[in-house]
Structure 1
Amino acid sequence: MPLSEPAAREPIHTREVICRGYRRTDGLWDVEGHLTDVKSYAFHTEQRGQIMPGDPVHGMWLRLTVDNDLTVQAVEAVTEKSPYRTCGSVTPNFQRLVGLKIGPGWTRAVKERLGGVQGCTHLVELLGPIATTAFQTIYPILAREQAEKARAAGGGEAGSKEDMLRTKRPVLLNTCHIFDSNGEVVRKNWPDHYTGDRPRDAAD
């Protein structure tokens, strides 16, 4: 167990979020998320009646179809399990995501279109891990393919993936402390985009 040994306790609630990315044969990408909330005890709800242990209180599905630029081409949202029968009536609003690009400003744009009563709290929350899964799915594949094309065209080291990544602005620049443009990871891997005080070519 990576965490320290816990105090004596009993399980109460489990939230699971599973996201998967797929490359489609038509050149687009599907990124799907599934969220479930499960209690360890039975309880009564006004509209669903008794919910037994292990029966999800929430069961939500969301699929974004995006292009290589991470622009949303299609959306499918489904509320499979919810405490109220009308929870799923808001899913058509998620079509408002079509045309948005996953990247800087994504969270703000999502809140503008689906915040508060315009959306479902749980489906909106699911868009966060779906967005990062889209990056993890698409960026490495396209980077590898671009490097292979450059290598084939250049015929040598000049066309290597490493050389290409050192000159192209990294997508993750300044999105996390490890990719701080003033930090060592950027200095070593993307010196053209390093903004720190240490010389770019300084020995480690």
Structure 2
Amino acid sequence: MPLTKPARRRQIHARAVHCLGFEREDGLWDIEARMTDTKTRDVENEYRGGGYVSAGEPFHDMWMRLTLDRRLTIHRVEASIDASPFPSCPEIAQAFRQLEGSRIGPGWNRQAKELLGGIKGCTHLNELLIPLATTAVQTLWPGDREDLMEQASTVLLNSCHGWSQSGEVIRKHIPHLYIPEAEEPTEDTVEGN
């Protein structure tokens, strides 16, 4: 069901995030994402050619590739900033190699933020990490391995309503991880009877 009809308006900005997952011949997986930001009008910018960014020209154009194995352990990270508002932005792309050796799973977003948050990283490349992680899971799942549901749970458990530890999907497919919802306290339990 689409959104309701909006108020009269005009578009100012567009952000596009495109993710792809590839199975490599060597048994590893490449997960790639590209983010572009464009404006519908020219934007003054003293650091860009001519002193402005043209309407439709990428204000941001950023790429990232994670190479990982079936356990979602990252073997290589490559990041590139092809367009940015400041000339210093591309310098930070190499910092994302700090994620090499980490494993996408519970706590990974927090770990990435600790390593690459604030001035240690790039807001937009950090934003790409979430769709990269979910694209990695979608690329590897469903697959030909019986334990893939359980492996996916290491990333997805309690990440949304469908993957709730007290939900039907977990109860049916990964019963040892299932925890029923706690029952509402009754007057008897509240009063200690």
Question: TM-score by structure 2 length?
Answer: 0.85
1:138 and 1:169 mapped to 2: Cα distance? 10
Provide the residue aligned with 1:180 in structure 2: 164
Aligned partners of 1:165 and 1:190 also within 8 Å: no
CA shift, 1:113, in A, is 1.1
Show the counterpart of 2:135: 133
Aligned length: 178
Equivalence for 1:114? 116
TM-superposition CA deviations, 1:78-113 (whole Å, max 9, x none): 000011112101111111010010011111110111
**Given the superposition, is the C-alpha separation of residues 100 and 8 from structure 1 closer, same or farther in structure 2, using an over 3 Å criterion?**
same
Cα deviations by residue, 1:37-96 (Å, 9 ceiling, x for unpaired): 000001210211111110010000000000111011001100000111121011111110
**Does the 8 Å contact 2:141/2:152 carry over to 1?**
no
**Which consecutive unaligned segments of at least 5 residues does structure 2 have?**
183-193
The structural deviation recorded for 1:139 is 2.8
Q: 1:195 to 1:104 in 2, by over 3 A?
A: same
Q: Cα 1:20–1:197, aligned 2, differ >3 Å: closer, same or farther?
A: closer
Q: Deviations over 1:135-166 (max 9, x none)?
A: 1001312xxx224xxxxxxxxxxxxxxxx679
Matches of 1:193 and 1:112 in 2, distance apart?
A: 28
What are structure 1's unaligned runs of at least 5 residues? 148-163, 199-204
Q: Give 1:58's aligned residue.
A: 60
Once residues 177 and 152 of structure 2 are traced to their aligned partners in structure 1, the CA distance between those partners, rounded to angstroms, is 8
Cα pair 2:79 2:94 within 8 Å, conserved: yes
Asked if the contact 2:141–2:148 (Cα under 8 Å) also holds between the matched residues in 1, the reply is no
Amino acid at match of 1:125: E
Report the counterpart of residue 45 of structure 1 in structure 2.
45
2:55 aligned counterpart, secondary structure: coil
1:14 aligns with 2:14: yes
Q: Percent identity?
A: 48
- Counterpart amino acid of residue 110 in structure 2: R
